[in-house]
């Protein structure tokens, strides 16, 4: 068994697609129209194009418990998920230049360095570099 798909709840799929591709650098893998104007949009990392796909899931628009959970995480400042990087300082600088807003600058926490940014679609995301 292996992980092939990870869902990220987003409030606006088009806005999320632009943010994750243009700002973060993910690549669009699938974009299939669905009912109600929704789409099955998946992204992959440039470094692992055959790796797990991120699904830009419009659940908060159609499933109230998803919206409540997403809002609670944001209010508490808890990241929805984590992306690993090899050089957090360089990634922080690149993303900041791309207009990504961080609520937590790179900070050493034991054996890792972490930073947290807002994906503009209802989620905090955490970047982690193992030291």
pTM: 0.95
Bridge partners (DSSP) listed for residue 11: none
Instruction: Label residue 122 exposed, middle or buried (CB < 10 Å: 0-12, 13-18, 19+).
Output: buried
pLDDT tens per residue across span 18-72: 999 999 999 999 999 999 899 999 999 999 999 999 999 999 888 999 999 999 9
pLDDT of residue 51: 96
- CATH number of the structural domain spanning residue 9: 3.10.180.10
Q: What is the largest CA-CA distance in the chain?
A: 46
Run of H or E residues at 97: helix 88-97
Run of H or E residues at 85: none
pLDDT averaged over every residue in the chain? 97
How many other C-beta atoms can be found within 10 angstroms of the C-beta atom of residue 117? 23
pLDDT of residue 24: 98
Residues spanned by the domain of 121: 5-130
How many domains does the chain divide into? 1
């Amino acid at each position: 068994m292996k992980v092939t798909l990870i869902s990220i709840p987003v409030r606006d799929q088009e806005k999320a697609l632009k943010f994750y591709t243009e700002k973060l650098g993910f690549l669009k893998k699938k974009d299939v129209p669905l009912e109600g104007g929704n789409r099955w949009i998946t992204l992959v990392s440039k470094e692992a194009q055959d790796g797990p796909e991120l699904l830009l899931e419009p659940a908060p628009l159609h499933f109230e418990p998803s919206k409540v959970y997403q809002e609670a995480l944001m209010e508490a400042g808890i990241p929805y998920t984590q992306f690993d990087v090899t050089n957090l300082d360089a990634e922080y600088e690149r993303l900041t230049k791309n207009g990504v807003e961080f609520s937590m600058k790179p900070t050493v926490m034991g054996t890792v360095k972490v930073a947290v940014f807002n994906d503009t679609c209802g989620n905090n995301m955490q970047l982690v570099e193992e030291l």
